[in-house]
Chain A
């Protein structure tokens, strides 16, 4: 009988939940990323006045595709924030889970 080899299997939970505020200008691009890569997401609120959508997105960091999609999304939101500096007011596009969603 050949010797058995131990193989480590990382069972740490690499599923993360990220929350984003997506303005109307970027909504189609973001949805294209989410639908195109079958990434689980949920629209949890809409701010009608400023046309902003609050999204919860589940990323599986074990998947390369999911990681790339996260990078793609955050890149777009970061670039937009940079160009719109001072125009978005206090609105932050990438939120932590603890942030309040009262305005929604």
Chain B
């Protein structure tokens, strides 16, 4: 039967009605053209390979519809339904995705489209659709998902706010630069103890229950701090003086109210807790750590007093040594006298 080659347009005798190309070469070239591939060594299509524009559909050619069914994963070729064969493992990695929708595909399988001349410049555009389809999918996924709303922790926001408000940090960093020597020493003494007590309060607030004895111990420690001479001699611009007094009064009140309970829930308000965490974090960097079991309230003596004490200690030792010397001497004399007396008798 007579047929026309879809690639070169030449008439040829075909044995079967579905034959489209006159030779394997034409068949191959048509495939290249459809997929936008070019033979190596060629820069453009040879004039003989250029297809003339055919405005009228050739009557002799049979239209063959090829349709891919995504759901069933089959290809419908003419009247046959063929399964797409590939390994199951590979299938998990690759997914065949037709570019257009099914309706558009029916139109695009018409022969007229295959007769159009394609320029080589369009080849480079073939690479982009792969990337753009991936990007489009990602964008669509992002558009579908509502935007994430960032949640800030209330406690941490409060702590950061306290950091901004708290001016104590500057003074705490360099106490000896900011205050006079004696005042700075007192401040360091108080800060060390306050850090320990603040840590204690924070830890206790994290527990579900504490016993009364623990509350008593920490209240007592605050009392010792507040009533110490060093604390009362602090400079007026010491940033934590009022807070320490407030905490002591609060603890004292709680102890009096809950005296009848053996175990009690000890909770700080979020504001108070944030304040203590902030102050403790500042003190942590510039103050030495003491365990609660090792805390003492032996007061720091001023330098002059220390010097005087040192001198008096030294004098006393000297006196002692002198006295011993005298004592020995007297003893000897006494002994000697007594011995003499003994000798006399």
Residues of A within 8 A of B (CB): 1-9, 11, 23-26, 28-29, 32-33, 36-37, 48-51, 63-65, 68-69, 72, 76, 79-80, 83-87
A51 touching B156, Cβ below 8 Å: no
* Residues in A neighbouring B152, C-beta threshold 8 A: 29, 76
* A87 and B199 contact, Cβ closer than 8 Å, known pairs A1-B108, A4-B98, A24-B206: yes
Partner of B155, one of A5, A7, A25, A32: A25
From A5, A11, A64, A80, give the contact of B153 (CB < 8 A): A80
B99 in contact (CB, < 8 A): yes
Give chain A nearest CB distance to B87 CB in angstroms: 14
Kindly state the separation between the CA atoms of A69 and B145 in the bound complex, as whole angstroms.
Answer: 13
Q: In B142-157, which residues have CB < 8 Å from any A CB?
A: 142, 145-146, 148-156
Q: Is the CB of B133 within 8 A of A9?
A: no
Chain B residues in the interface with A (C-beta under 8 A)? 34-36, 66, 68, 92-100, 105, 108-109, 129-130, 133-134, 141-142, 145-146, 148-156, 159, 199, 202-203, 206-208, 273, 277-278, 280-281, 284, 289
Q: Does B206 contact A2, Cβ atoms closer than 8 Å? A: no
Residue among B97, B151, B199 with the most chain A CB within 10 A? B151
Q: List 14 A-B contacts (CB under 8 A).
A: A1-B105, A2-B108, A4-B97, A6-B94, A7-B95, A11-B92, A26-B153, A28-B154, A33-B151, A36-B149, A48-B208, A51-B207, A63-B145, A68-B148
- Chain A minimum-CB-distance residue to B108: A2
Q: Which residue of B lies closest to A80 (CB)?
A: B156
Number of A-B residue pairs with CB-CB distance less than 8 Å in the complex they form = 107
Q: With contacts A5-B99, A48-B208, A49-B207 known, is A83 near B134, CB below 8 A? A: no
Q: Which residues of B contact A5 (CB under 8 A)?
A: 97, 99, 129-130, 133
Min distance, Cβ B162 to any Cβ of chain A, angstroms:
11
Using CB atoms, name the residue of chain B closest to A37.
B148
The interface residues of chain A, by DSSP majority, are classed as mixed
Residue in contact with B151 in the complex, picked from A36, A83, A87, CB distance below 8 Å: A36
User: Which listed residue, A1, A3, A7, A26, touches B109 by the CB 8 Å rule?
Assistant: A1
Closest CB pairs A-B (n = 3): A68-B148, A29-B153, A76-B153
Kindly list chain A residues whose C-beta atoms are within 8 Å of the C-beta of B153. Answer: 26, 29, 76, 79-80
Chain B positions within 8 Å of A28 at CB level: 154
Q: Given A3-B35, A80-B153, A51–B97 Cβ distance below 8 Å?
A: no
Residues of chain A within 8 A of B280, CB atoms compared: 87
Q: Are A29 and B35 in contact (CB under 8 A)?
A: no
Give Cα A33–Cα B148 distance, bound, in whole angstroms: 10
A32 with B206: in contact, given A6-B96, A85-B284, A86-B284 (CB under 8 Å)? no
Question: A86 CA to B280 CA in the complex, in Å?
Answer: 11
Residue pair A4, B68 in contact (C-beta under 8 Å): yes
Contact A64 B145 (CB under 8 A): yes
| CB pair A72 B199 closer than 8 Å | no
